[in-house]
Amino acid sequence: MTVSGFISQILQLAIALLLAPLLLGWVNQCRAWLQNKSAPSLLLPYRTIRKLFNKDAVVAENASPVFRIMPYVVFSAMALAAAIVPSLATDLPFGRAADAIALVGLFALARVFIALAAMDLGTAFGSMGARREMFIGFLAEPALLMVLFTASLISGSTLLPTIVETINQRDLAIYPSLAFAGVAFTMVSLAENARIPIDNPATHLELTMIHEAMILEYSARHLALIEWASALKLFNYSCIGLALFMPFGIAQGSADASAILGATPVLIVKLAVGGLALALIETLSAKMRIFRAPEFLGTAFLLAVLGMLVNLLLGS
Amino acid sequence: MAGSHAASCWRPVISALGLVVVSIVAWLAIGALGLVRPRNLTYVGRVLFSAGALVGLLLAGVALSALGQGAQTAVLPLGLPDLPFHLRLDGLSAFFLFLLGATAAGISIFSAGYFRASDGAAPGLLCLQYHTFLAAMAFVLIADDAFVFMIAWETMALASFFLVTTDHRIPEIRRAGFLYLLIAHLGALSILLCFGVLQGGSGDYTFGAMRTVILQGAWPSTAFLLALAGFGAKAGLLPLHIWLPEAHPAAPSPVSALMSGVMLKTAIYGLLRVTFDLLSGQIWWWGVIALVVGLATALFGVLFATVQTDMKRLLAYSSIENIGIIVAAIGLAILFKTYGKTLLAAIALTAALYHCLNHAFFKSLLFLATGSVLHATKERSLGKLGGLIHRMPWVAWLALVGTLAIAGLPPLNGFVSEWLLLQAFLFTPSLPQSFINMLVPLAAAALVLAAALAAYVMVKFYGVVFLGRPREPNLAYAHDAGRLERAALVWFAAGCVLLGLFPVQVIANLDAVNAMLIGATLDRPGMSWWLLAPIDTHRASYSPLIVLVVTVAVFLLTVQVVHRFYHGRLRRGPAWDCGFPSQTPRMQDTAEGFGQPIRQIFEQFFRIERELPTPFDVAPRYFVRAEDPFWYWLYLPIARAADWAARRVGLIQQGRISIYLMYSFLTLLALLYFVR
């Protein structure tokens, strides 16, 4: 752990924090284009966050401290994940503090906290949202693990930095198992990030909400942190996906500040493509009933298992 | 007489084993002292239970120091003339003795402040049963021959039976106690037969002799399966789990904690002792069986936990789940060991042992917290609780630690063992049998499903009990736990945090058991004191300390930055009512409601009774109950068959002396024919 390592680490974290709302804005803009609507500004998420920070917070009378610390806990967990995921460089001080499984655990921690805070006020929608969120969560986690399993079969490691390095060292080739795993990962990411077809981030109808139902009671700085954390979660999932399936252009070996900055444009390009794909998926599909989610995530699980079997049988 | 014998025997072994025996005797003495003034709460509670807690601490300390040392044995000239008591303290017993001591210390402190004068049975009697239970468990762990083991095992079962039936005036509790005793004895019978197989015809029932016997043919497998059934009955493995959700809620909360936290682990100890120590070798399919049974148990337990409406039953089903995970880990260890992958076997075994320790801590914490809630509210049903975080902040915040730990979230302890187990699963595809290579990743998925469902269950448990609005008006008068109860909860919560933050140090201590049972250790070169890397640092690593420190740092920084650059203004207002102003606390999600999605998608696993109102009902009533199908598939048919057989046998009982004389005559005739 050197000083320059720490600087790189903080730089990656800062870039992640800054880029995350932009990714969200970009997805919204692409979606608006694809749906033939006039697009909001690319910078709208930043303005929303700033606006929310300036407002006075309103907290329900019977809220416990769980309600008030939740946004900070979730934001911290997502920031930590952003520091660990090798989005820009592989050799960072915190890079080995959590492997892919521990990252999944970190996301689960955030999810449990959001669900608990949603139940704190005792409103009907809050607890409904909590129940649904945990429901989607337990369906998604086995599929996500199978994806990580497949990826770790290829590189013999569950550490994302090692996976990135291993795949980069090989010749450019299409691994059939990774193709299956990639589709499964995309499906799981849609569910985990409360996107269509599982959840609709733009909904205003409480009965169909999942993520939004849980945060109905939040306002001002608390809501700003939650929104930022959601953007970070999308960013983190995208970067995990990129690390597993498109690990090119990530700074390897000793990472100093210039290497980080050099890797940033590549990341932006990759995220722009990913965001466009996300907008396309969201445009082409409709939100499904909540009890169709087991089928959707079951399919993701089977695809991931298929990927793993392909790997075991063909060895690729 | 016996005392002087024992005294003369301790002198040569005033070693760790001697201290363990001293602790056992001390516990028995404390129990007996309870009878001196059985109704005096201050004496029994404050003095005797606190003394019991000190003995527990002593035992934990002794066991910890004995972990790294070699085995110590002793022979006590007690018991039958030719069958003295053989005792032995080795790494495996020391680990479980540590678990027992550390858990018992916390539970005893809690009990010191828990029992009230109005609780039916005299506190002194409870004190005797409780400490006999503790002493019997410790004795099980140091037994080195089958006789001592069975005596201690049965004492443990009986003492816990009396504790379960503390409130024996309630019929359901008597029924639960009977069921417990029945299954416990089925298990004991199986264990007895297992020892019978293990002695291999030599007639020597000491464990030392059993280790040297080499069984032939199908006998080793018979012994293993008998052990799995016998110890599985005590641990709550499918399908012998049926007593657990009945007996745990029936017992007073400290006893539930002790049974769930420690007693189930003595069964795990027995399974490990027979499988890895007494049997000279293992066969790969034992591992497959343990893995499958363990995972089935885990999934079954957690699915049923999601639909429970009684908080202690919910925790009991969660115990079934955790035992399933532990047994699955043991199965994996057997599998790896038989294929010579000792490092992976050591990881799997470490995960099993670690999870035993974790479960002892977080489950005791949660059971004790339910005890405090029960005291404060007189209510066990989740449908009548809620919002207790406002009235009972100590219990609520400490229970939150247990909740997050049992849900398997970093950086707490439940995550470490699950992480280790998943690592063991992940590196499976190096086994020679491709069928197992395919099976094991699917088993890992089942494990993750169970773990994720556990998070669902715990959100339900914590959210319904402590968060939300109080569902009943009298909850407004709930009081927080007393000082001793708080101290116990802090002890367990601190244990959850420390076991989570310092896995490398914990594993360094567990390595003695690994070395003894597997012959490999996890002492890897790449591991530093803060980074857990069981294989090597390039394959997998996890540092809970960094996770915690960075999270807390970002948390504090964010709070500072937000308040410095913006403002800390905050208004309190009513929660948004969605335009429907007459909302009541009854409109929150209930425990039934929270379990509904699970009930719907896993419907075929439950036996559901449902009563749905029609739109035209004058007094609409909704009723749903999800029951254990094993009752209907397995237990009720067996009970009916037993009843039927008993009636048939009962036909020969006529109640007339002439008939009985005829039986005697016929018996004599038959005997004469044989003796001839």
Rounded-to-integer distance, Cα B454 and Cα B407, Å: 5
Question: Could you give the number of structural domains in chain A?
Answer: 1
Instruction: Among A52, A68, A112, pick the best mutation site for testing chain B contact (most B Cβ within 10 A).
Output: A112
pLDDT tens column, B392-410: 899 999 999 999 999 989 8
| More confident: A192 or B83 | A192
Q: DSSP 3-state assignment of B626? A: strand
ipTM: 0.92
One-character DSSP codes across chain A: --HHHHHHHHHHHHHHHHHHHHHHHHHHHHHHHHTT-PPPPTTHHHHHHHHHHHSPEEEETT--HHHHHHHHHHHHHHHHHHHHS-SSBS--TTTTSB-HHHHHHHHHHHHHHHHHHHHHS--HHHHHHHHHHHHHHHHHHHHHHHHHHHHHHHHT-S-HHHHHHHHHHSPS---HHHHHHHHHHHHHHHHHTT-TTT--TT---GGG-SHHHHTTT--HHHHHHHHHHHHHHHHHHHHHHHHHH---S-B-SS--HHHHHHHHHHHHHHHHHHHHHHHHHHHHS-PPPGGGHHHHHHHHHHHHHHHHHHHHHH--
- C-alpha A166 chain-centroid distance: 23
CB pair distance less than 8 Å for B566 and A54:
yes
Rounded-to-integer distance, Cα B362 and Cα B352, Å: 15
Counted residue by residue, chain A has a size of: 316
CB pair distance less than 8 Å for B571 and A58:
yes
- Given this model, what pLDDT does residue B428 score? 66
- Given this model, what pLDDT does residue B120 score? 65
Confidence of residue A172 (pLDDT cuts 50, 70, 90): low
Q: Is the peptide bond before B411 cis (omega within 30 degrees of 0)?
A: yes
A312 — contact with chain B (CB < 8 Å)? Answer: yes
pLDDT tens column, B73-112: 888 887 777 788 888 998 899 999 999 999 999 999 998 8
Round the average pLDDT of chain A to a whole number and report it. Answer: 87
CB pair distance less than 8 Å for B570 and A134:
no
- Given this model, what pLDDT does residue B264 score? 93
Q: DSSP 3-state assignment of B608? A: strand
pLDDT tens column, B478-518: 888 888 889 999 999 999 999 999 988 888 888 888 888 88
* pLDDT value at B9 more than 50: no
B455 — contact with chain A (CB < 8 Å)? Answer: yes
One-character DSSP codes across B496-517: HHHHHH-HHHHHHHHHHHHHHH
CB pair distance less than 8 Å for A121 and B575:
yes
Closest CA to B89 of B150, B187, B22: B22
Distance (Å) from the C-alpha of residue B414 to the closest C-alpha of chain A?
11
Question: Could you give the number of structural domains in chain B?
Answer: 1
Does residue B665 fall inside a structural domain? yes
Hey, what amino acid is at B231? F
Rounded-to-integer distance, Cα B631 and Cα B640, Å: 12
Rounded-to-integer distance, Cα B274 and Cα B223, Å: 8
- Return phi, psi of residue B512, to 5°: -60, -40
pLDDT tens column, B336-379: 898 888 888 899 999 999 999 999 999 999 999 999 998 888 88
- Given this model, what pLDDT does residue B153 score? 93
- Given this model, what pLDDT does residue B187 score? 93
Q: Which of B468, B574, B594 sits opposite A131 (nearest CB)?
A: B594
Closest CA to B592 of B568, B626, B632: B626
- Contacts B426 to A, Cβ<8 Å: 149, 152, 158
- Given this model, what pLDDT does residue B271 score? 94
- Given this model, what pLDDT does residue B8 score? 43
Question: Mean pLDDT across the stretch A91-114?
Answer: 88
| More confident: B334 or A310 | B334
Residues 544-573 of B with CB under 8 A from A: 546-547, 550-552, 554-555, 558-559, 562, 565-567, 569-573
Rounded-to-integer distance, Cα B478 and Cα B377, Å: 6
What pTM was estimated for this model as a whole? 0.91
Rounded-to-integer distance, Cα A116 and Cα A126, Å: 9
A287 and A198 in contact (C-beta within 8 Å)?
yes
* pLDDT value at B252 more than 90: no
Distance (Å) from the C-alpha of residue A233 to the closest C-alpha of chain B?
15
In chain A, which residue's Cα lies nearest the Cα of B532? A97
* pLDDT value at A312 more than 80: no
Question: Mean pLDDT across the stretch A43-68?
Answer: 90
Percentage with pLDDT > 90 across chain A: 32
**Residue-range definition of the domain harbouring residue B644:** 638-675
* pLDDT value at A176 more than 90: no
Instruction: Among B306, B389, B551, pick the best mutation site for testing chain A contact (most A Cβ within 10 A).
Output: B551
**Residue-range definition of the domain harbouring residue A40:** 3-314
User: Quick one: which H or E segment has residue B572?
Assistant: strand B570-573
- Given this model, what pLDDT does residue B136 score? 94
- Given this model, what pLDDT does residue B568 score? 80
- Given this model, what pLDDT does residue A56 score? 87
pLDDT tens column, B206-231: 888 888 888 888 889 999 999 999 99
Residues 277-296 of A with CB under 8 A from B: 290-291, 294
